[in-house]
Amino acid sequence: MKILGIDEAGRGPVIGPLILAGVMIEEGEEKKIDGVKDSKLLPHKKRIELDKKIKANSKYKIVEVSPQEIDLALNSHNLNLNWLEAHKQAEIINSLKPDKAVIDCPSPNCNRFKDYLKNLLKDKNIELVVEHKADSKYPTCSAASILAKVKREQIMDKIKKKYGNTGPGYSSNLITQKFVRENWEKHPEIFRKTWVTFKNHERMKDQKTLENFSKNNI
């Protein structure tokens, strides 16, 4: 039985893409990817080592979702971030054609998410396991989390080389906050404009524009 695990990296940051990865191995051959665990629990050097090991011993697929595609989904009437992830997960499942797919569920309602995802699959007979924290329970999901994390880090390194020190891209990070404040208008292509962090700067600019307009017209 071919078992596919799917996980993501970069769901929350205001800068850079969301990455989804799928890793598929034959049931009983988990030893080929021995040592995998949730990527957040591994140091960077270990993630790099495991990334190579996983790619050499599995079938895998990595999908990059740009800030623009995320914003488009969140501004639409029929999509949100969870449903967008479901569409990307379906793309991975339809491509790799597993017998069983294990999903680290992004939604609080696993059953509803599972039904939505199943409707997107070409093969309705694929067994779906949709759970929270699947990346800490299932080796293929752990492996997928590593591939996604490493890919996201590689892309962020390229962004830093081109645009400057962005920090990790999360709104809670002080370096990222400084970068957003100084660059949100200069490099809009790397930001998720639907995030509150970005919107706050737009709002402040609009307020200043209105204030200046009012002063000049008194």
Question: How do residues 14-71 score in pLDDT, each as one tens digit?
Answer: 999 999 999 999 998 888 888 787 677 788 899 999 999 999 999 999 999 999 999 9
Predicted local distance difference test score (pLDDT) of residue 214: 46
What is the band of 201 on the pLDDT scale with cuts at 50, 70, 90?
Answer: confident
CATH code at 211? 1.10.10
Q: What does the pLDDT average to over 140-161?
A: 96
**Final residue belonging to a domain, choices 120, 140, 161:** 161
* Close Cβ partners of 68 (under 8 Å, ≥ 6 residues apart): 189
pLDDT > 90: what percent of the chain? 81
Q: Give backbone dihedrals phi and psi of 99, rounded to 5 degrees, phi first.
A: -85, -30
Number of domains in the chain: 2
Q: Is 93 within 8 Å of 127 (Cβ atoms)? A: no
Is pLDDT of 215 > 80? no
Predicted local distance difference test score (pLDDT) of residue 93: 98
Structural domain range at position 192? 163-216
